[in-house]
């Protein structure tokens, strides 16, 4: 498996297919995609997983993490999170968080992220904020 930085545009087909297949591809864009770091996992030369990271100061947020359904359960998400979190720690990031679909909280918990706050919905999908702090006191983000 090859995990590398990719462009925001390259993330769109997988974001669309996995996260919001009934919406338009433009729905899958993030307004500040041009400011993020976008990771892609390639298996046999084929892009199979994407994740986007948005950093402000010492805080990074994971958004739009998606692995094509036929490649889920093969350790690709684990490899992506391992690489991303390693890169973030090396760059001095102290706090990492995401809005996790309830169905995906298990993978984040394996990496030390803990739920913060109540369950909430985006459309009909249930989410919870999950976060981990690597240095100092836990950061209490006001972002949702």
Q: Cβ distance 1 to 43 under 8 Å? A: yes
Sign of the C-alpha dihedral computed for residues 107, 113, 115 and 117 taken in this order: negative
CA-based diameter of the chain, in Å?
Answer: 42
Give the pLDDT score at 142: 40
Give the pLDDT score at 91: 95
Pick out the chain residues at pLDDT < 70: 135-144
Nearest to 94 by CA among 137, 133, 52: 133
The full set of domains in the chain, from first to last, is: 2-133 (3.40.630.30)
Strands in 46-56's sheet, in edge-to-edge order, are: 2-6, 37-43, 46-56, 59-67, 95-101, 125-133, 114-122
Q: Check residue 19 and report its DSSP letter.
A: I
Q: Cβ distance 77 to 67 under 8 Å? A: yes
Give the pLDDT score at 137: 47
The distance of Cα 26 from the centroid of its chain, to the nearest Å, equals: 18
- Overall pTM > 0.85: yes
Give the pLDDT score at 125: 87
- Strand-strand pairing, 37-43 and 46-56: antiparallel
Give the pLDDT score at 123: 83
């Amino acid at each position: 498996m090859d995990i590398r930085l990719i462009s925001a545009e390259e993330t769109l087909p997988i974001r669309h297919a996995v996260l919001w297949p009934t919406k338009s591809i433009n729905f899958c864009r993030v307004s500040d995609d041009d400011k993020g770091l976008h990771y892609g996992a390639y298996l046999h030369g084929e892009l199979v997983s994407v994740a986007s990271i948005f950093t402000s100061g010492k805080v990074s947020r994971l958004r739009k993490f998606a692995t094509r359904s036929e490649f889920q359960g093969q350790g690709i998400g684990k490899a992506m999170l391992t690489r991303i979190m390693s890169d973030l720690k090396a760059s001095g990031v102290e706090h990492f968080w995401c809005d996790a679909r309830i169905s995906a909280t298990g993978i984040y918990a394996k990496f030390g992220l803990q739920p913060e706050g109540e369950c909430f919905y985006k459309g009909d999908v249930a989410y919870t904020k999950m976060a981990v702090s690597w240095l100092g006191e836990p950061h209490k983000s006001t972002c949702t």
